[in-house]
Chain A
């Protein structure tokens, strides 16, 4: 296998020669300048704001292991729930299990982000089985279900599979209904859901950590279920990966992840509420309703923007969020928001890695936040990371975990469901 040895050597020489020619002039100035201060970052770099010190060097985005944990290797002994609640494995073996959607016939659909698959957890005679119903997709994070049809959101398109629950063993390929979307990797993956207005809500994240962007980014849109009639519902949205409608007011609530590299403890993630179409939620000018961005906040005031109804903690990565309307959990949970906090990376002492309930005041703002499932974070390391939460018909809640490729079932009071 030495056949190529001569090729790269000659290429290398050619490269070196060109290098000398083009960089000679620059090199002179470079070597005479003090090497200490680094050049400013180019606009839009995800590193803007990051200090050049040892503490910051230790922080990097955390990637989930690619291989799903076996059902008997899940961290069930580490995950804690309040008295009266039970947590069990609902299904395992789905690498990078992300957003959840529930079919009419009880099938649970599970999207993914770092792999190309959508899974279906099928209930058959009390036994659950995982099927792959779509593959070869690009970051198919979002799933939604309505009237027999499954909707799937990839990085830059939304597609559907009709009558999916009748064709789980041999489903047709998804048909694209909407692809007028940017292709940015940063915050390009999507959570989707269908609102009480029977429209599909599709977010487009801000294309970077902290950037000024065009009118096609940093927003939530809604489209008709055939892909027509796109309309922007909210702007100033950095990256929402979970939303739901308040069952009493029908208002859209959404989690929004705030920027990195501003400080260890600020800004907080937001829980927002849309009260009128086109509202601006601040990003990238104002964070958490009261902190002007150090760069883009100049010339603006936080009072220009709609403040959040609740703060979700710094770098917490608050993702999936649904209102609890079931009868299984204690009465105090009724119509309250249950939120999965995936957990931080941009913080020395990691924060989040839990599922919480945000209790609301009468005016719809957050009164307090209480943990329900904790323990995903152990000794500042993840043993799991919750992504989405979804209520089942019996009032139990499913919780997805992309770190382990699993879905858990949180129930209250009654005996656990039969083991798989």
Chain B
């Protein structure tokens, strides 16, 4: 993981140097994002979220939190460090327009899918994230997000090692047993 981080940090650095040279469009600057987050909105990198179709207000909040180091992940903190407020907004709007991630080619295991569905219903994930997990405004799109990233994030909200912008997910996950996270992540990542 450290190696990946180093490589990503190097990418970030290269991009900063080049963006200083000339005014680039968001599309051009996004090459840095795609290197880790995937070229078509869908991430192929371990623990790295797909960004496609993400809600712009949510994306803005996350980019802001990275810049302010309210959410810590070195490569993202480095990349966003020189961003102006307008940069944050432009990238958030850009992310919302790239194609949303697709479900895995193979359908999920029916038994696990049913278990995950029951848990998602029980915990009312649809309350904010919508029945199709498309999210709204400051509530993120979850549908077909990477399973490992969902696992990681739900666990981090549960032990509050990832601080949300507000405390909502810490509050929600506080009562969700740890053992249920894997099934929720499996179901949401395979959602069709």
A residues with CB within 8 A of B: 1-5, 7-8, 11-12, 15-16, 19-20, 23-24, 26-28, 30-31, 35, 38-47, 50, 52, 56-57, 59-63, 65-67, 113-116, 138, 183-186, 188, 208-209
Q: How far is the CA of A66 from the CA of B60 in the complex (A)?
A: 8
Say yes or no: A15 contacts B182, CB within 8 Å.
yes
Q: Which of A3, A16, A35 contacts B4 (CB 8 A)?
A: A3
Say yes or no: A23 contacts B124, CB within 8 Å.
no
Q: What are 17 A-to-B residue pairs whose CB atoms are below 8 Å?
A: A12-B147, A23-B183, A27-B110, A30-B111, A39-B118, A45-B123, A45-B172, A52-B124, A56-B127, A60-B137, A61-B168, A63-B165, A66-B65, A114-B165, A116-B68, A184-B167, A208-B171
A325 to chain B, nearest CB (A): 34
Say yes or no: B36 contacts A1, CB within 8 Å.
yes
Report the tally of A-B residue pairs with Cβ distances under 8 A.
154
Q: How far is the CA of A140 from the CA of B159 in the complex (A)?
A: 21
Closest A-B pairs by Cβ, 6 of them: A27-B111, A185-B167, A60-B128, A63-B138, A66-B64, A185-B170
Which residues from chain A contact B165 at a C-beta distance below 8 Å? 63, 66, 114
Say yes or no: B110 contacts A31, CB within 8 Å.
yes
- The yes or no answer to B35 lying at the interface (CB within 8 A) is yes
B114 to chain A, nearest CB (A): 5
Q: How far is the CA of A321 from the CA of B45 in the complex (A)?
A: 50
Say yes or no: A39 contacts B122, CB within 8 Å.
yes
Which residues from chain A contact B119 at a C-beta distance below 8 Å? 39
Say yes or no: B127 contacts A47, CB within 8 Å.
yes
Known: A45-B123, A45-B175, A60-B136. 20 other contacts (CB 8 A): A1-B45, A4-B45, A4-B46, A8-B46, A15-B147, A19-B186, A23-B183, A26-B111, A31-B114, A41-B124, A50-B124, A52-B126, A57-B126, A63-B166, A66-B61, A114-B70, A114-B166, A116-B70, A185-B167, A209-B171
Say yes or no: B182 contacts A47, CB within 8 Å.
no
Which residue on chain B has the smallest CB distance to residue A5? B44
Which residues from chain B contact A116 at a C-beta distance below 8 Å? 68, 70
Which residues from chain B contact A24 at a C-beta distance below 8 Å? 111
Say yes or no: B57 contacts A65, CB within 8 Å.
yes
Which residues from chain A contact B127 at a C-beta distance below 8 Å? 47, 50, 56-57, 59-60
Contact with A along B123-149 (1 / 0, CB 8 A): 110111011000011110000001110
- The yes or no answer to B90 lying at the interface (CB within 8 A) is no
B35 to chain A, nearest CB (A): 5
Which residue on chain B has the smallest CB distance to residue A139? B167
Say yes or no: B36 contacts A47, CB within 8 Å.
no
Say yes or no: B128 contacts A41, CB within 8 Å.
no
Task: Answer whether A1 and B7 are a contact pair too, CB < 8 Å, given A27-B112, A46-B172, A67-B88.
Answer: yes
Contact with A along B156-185 (1 / 0, CB 8 A): 000010011111101110111100001100
CB interface residues, B 4-34, toward A, < 8 Å: 4, 7, 11
Q: Which of A46, A57, A65, A115 contacts B130 (CB 8 A)?
A: A57
A60 to chain B, nearest CB (A): 4
Say yes or no: B111 contacts A23, CB within 8 Å.
yes
B104 to chain A, nearest CB (A): 9
Which residues from chain A contact B168 at a C-beta distance below 8 Å? 46, 61
Which residue on chain B has the smallest CB distance to residue A189? B167
Say yes or no: A47 contacts B121, CB within 8 Å.
no
Say yes or no: A30 contacts B118, CB within 8 Å.
yes
B30 to chain A, nearest CB (A): 14
Which residues from chain A contact B148 at a C-beta distance below 8 Å? 8, 11-12
Task: Answer whether A44 and B166 are a contact pair too, CB < 8 Å, given A8-B148, A60-B128, A116-B68.
Answer: no
Say yes or no: B45 contacts A47, CB within 8 Å.
no
Task: Answer whether A62 and B138 are a contact pair too, CB < 8 Å, given A30-B111, A46-B171.
Answer: yes
Q: How far is the CA of A259 from the CA of B172 in the complex (A)?
A: 15
Which residue on chain B has the smallest CB distance to residue A57? B126
Say yes or no: B177 contacts A42, CB within 8 Å.
yes
Q: How far is the CA of A43 from the CA of B172 in the complex (A)?
A: 11
A27, A35, A52, A114 interface centre (most CB from chain B within 10 Å):
A114
- The yes or no answer to B97 lying at the interface (CB within 8 A) is no
Which residue on chain A has the smallest CB distance to residue B174? A44
Which residue on chain B has the smallest CB distance to residue A155? B167
- The yes or no answer to B117 lying at the interface (CB within 8 A) is yes
Q: Which of A2, A62, A115 contacts B68 (CB 8 A)?
A: A115
Say yes or no: B138 contacts A44, CB within 8 Å.
no
Say yes or no: A113 contacts B109, CB within 8 Å.
no
CB interface residues, B 83-98, toward A, < 8 Å: 85, 88-89
Which residue on chain B has the smallest CB distance to residue A96? B165
Which residues from chain A contact B182 at a C-beta distance below 8 Å? 15, 19
- The yes or no answer to B115 lying at the interface (CB within 8 A) is yes
Which residues from chain A contact B172 at a C-beta distance below 8 Å? 45-47
B118 to chain A, nearest CB (A): 6
Say yes or no: A186 contacts B70, CB within 8 Å.
no
